[in-house]
Structure 1
Amino acid sequence: MNSFKEKFFNLLLGMFVGDTKIEGKGGFVNLLKIKKKYFENEFKLKLQEKIEEILKIYPEFESELFEKLYTFFSRYFSESGSIYFVNTPSYHQIYEKIYTDKEDVILFWKTRDLYYIKTDRIFKSLEIKIEENGRECKFCFDASKLEYKKANEKREVIYELDEERTTKEKIYFYVYYSERGKTTKIDEILKKLKKKEIKITEDILEKAFKRFEQQSEVDYFIHKNAKAFLTEQLKLYIYNYLFKERQDWTKERLDQIYKFQEIAELIIDFVSKFEDELVKIWNKPRFVFNSNYVITLDRIVKQNKEKGFEIIEKILNHKNFNEQVKEWKELGIIDENFDKNKIIQTSLTGKELNKKYQFLPIDTKYFKDLEIEILSLFDDLDNQLDGWLIKSENYQALNTILPKFKEKIQTIYIDPPFNKEQDADYLYNVKYKDSTWITLLENRLRLARDLLKDTGSIFVRCDYNGNMYVRLLMNEIFGEENFRNEISVSRISKQDPKVKRFNTAIDSLYFYSRSEKFLFNLLFKNLVKAKSERWHAMDSQGQGQPLYIFGYLFEPPKGRHWTYGQEKIKQMEEEGKIRLKCKKCGYIHTSGIWKGCPQCQNKNEIKVEYLLTPTEVKQIDSNWTDIPGSSPGWDFNPVPNSE
């Protein structure tokens, strides 16, 4: 087999199967297994038949055919089986649109037009040798039982000793992802090995685990329109090949190029069919596995007083009530002196709720046998709910609720995972390739726009790692004309004298509207010290025209314009809210035609002032650094933002 033929089929195998043996469990792994069957049972056989058919006509074309197939497809097929600009050195002369007739600057990134699925390591079973003090230790890691991550939750890899297969020559481990805080119990492993008379130190174990975990992390994507993308790139490739240099093409040579095109189009057709199926699966609304309702006691009583108190008494005597109390204490809603017998009080008019406890929230997850009875109190539950709290991978959650909430949401605030230089102490990933992070955000922002009303707005918080991308991405999705503000918000200040730069003190909050019809209310804050009535210069930045003030035509100062127009100035003269102040002697003119200063005869060196009314408030602008970077006192990770 010539080298390009081998490379080409290995490339296809990687495209359909991924660059690893498929082991373990999980939704995405199951898709990879389906993809592998599709490749081996259908696609590969048809492709080989087509290639053999062409090589019967042009046997001398075999080497070049595989070279061209490999050269073209290696640009777009990644190790995870995703399709995008993977290998694009400048000499390949790959083309993509980087501006349009409407925009002369747009954001381009390698993984544009993809759905981001997740970042994960598809672990393969591995045998590792560790040498220590002249002794060789062999470890076998079995990944066949590992259930892969569903999204981007952060989960540690843990190891369990397989005692049955372990011998003095080779130590076997099963590999899992941690659940519910489970960890690798190294002390127990060492004790079990000692019973088998296998002497291994903790350091050697740690080295073996680290070596296993060095398997590379990859990003998984699905192309939104693989056929259109690859077909366009193929046309550009052939055009560039035919017309790069001027030469005469024989009919036979052109036919060979067309045969290459036929094979390439066959591959594109097969690849894109499977990719289209993945798109359908990815965008299919998800089933809700479980739902609970949180309803305060006062609302239960308000719907039906007699029935409401009957249900509350059942709740108070329920076997799971102590679990509800535990949650209230964790949330700081009640203290250690809480007494459930004081929730319901009796007065002359009958039963009533203790005002201290009337807003206690009842979570139906503790009272599933009473849930239907509680919900039956409400005639129109959907409209009486204050909100939904959804625990899910957020793209799937947004996509699932889209039919119900399309163009119905007034305000969206998101604080996406910042694309930090290194991983951090969060329950989710915060370290991505820039292009991956942009795709993750783009997928969700497009859904967010579909959810917003015409009068709605969205606020997106970001830091210096991603600000330059977010602004351009928001311009593309919401329209540059709908940009409203870049608001500065404080972040938690960490002074590090070793860092050779200024401390990063702020993050950015990008404010965009859905359309020009968006609702906006001015916000005000109280001044620390109220401002009394005072006079202020009546000129603002930017050159303007002369206007009549007290019957005299005054030129504004150079580079300035009069703050108010002619009509407003006339009104202010009548109300006594404008005056002229002589710059030479300080004379004040408040009424009548201005003929010059009666004290020093100065006529033009005048300061025009208007009267500001007393104020105790200040209009809020885009500088929000006067509030803390986060809300302290919450036992919650990550700490909620103050804005």
Structure 2
Amino acid sequence: MGNNDNNMTSLQRFQNLLRVLFQFDASDLDFGIYRILNYKREQIDKFITTDLVNRVEEAFAKHKSEKRENIEKELEEARDDLCNKLNNNVITPEGELKPEYKNTNIGQKYLNILARKREIENIDEIKNQVYNDLNNFFSRYYEEGDFIPQYRYSIKGHKYAIPYNGEEVKLYWANYDQYYIKTGMLFRDYTFKCNNHKVIFRIVAAKEELGSKKATKERFFVLDDETPLEFMDKENLMIRFQYRELSESEVKKYDVAGGSNSSKQEKINENIFNEVIKQIDNIYWKEPLSQKYKSDLALLQYQLNRFAAKNTKDYFIHKNLKKFLSEQLDYYIKNEVLD
């Protein structure tokens, strides 16, 4: 969630998590589910920044108002009862019960009501706890860029459970009740315009040496090590890529020892951008490719990120996510918040 997570309020942490869940970092992508999210982006952001806060404030304001009115009445009655049965000097001007009366039954009753009153006055602490609980609840289903709907139950020796209604055989898998969606087809040419010129990204087969050791199981887009750049003519530039695992030296070169695959590819893209710009001498190509385009990224770097995402992004759509989360939230509140 970032290096400054410890300096954030509980509300800010939860808002950041929601922005991650709703793929705010992929706002530049305009295909598949990302196009739908972008279409709803303003509405989602309004809910996160304004509506969410207002709903919580309204709920607590109503709770606080009702409780405060009742508790004030109870406290006044308890105070009168103390004064009538003991004497008028049992309570200090600050509202505290004098020590010699604290162990009496009537004194204990007054102290309990006073403690409840102070709890209501500390409503902000309770609100913070609500945001923390919400953050913890949604975080448990989010892992390395994916939302994983796992049925969690705190049973000794078992972290998860599956829906089961007594069938003789039950088949179940991690992405049960979800549709798998692939956003793009790998290895197609990707083209974009740069002023009056055209840039083509093409993926070529990687030539690997026998016995070569790879440091990653995942594959990434890297520049072709034989002919990375080729000017087809004055108006067309071909940039070639390989899609393969990384060697140990490449992991160090790109500084991708940790993090998600998306963040690793973005680091590699930044390195590719610098290498390509360095190799281009023609100012009529270099300048427009280096100019800021979107999201504070240069045109070439933006297109590199989009190219990699379009060829590798995929996602799952849950058949009934609302039902799943409602059931899990009910269990979470009863067994981990109120328990």
**TM-score calculated relative to the size of structure 2:** 0.43
Q: Which has the higher helix share?
A: 2
Return the structure number with greater relative CO, CA threshold 8 A, min gap 6.
2
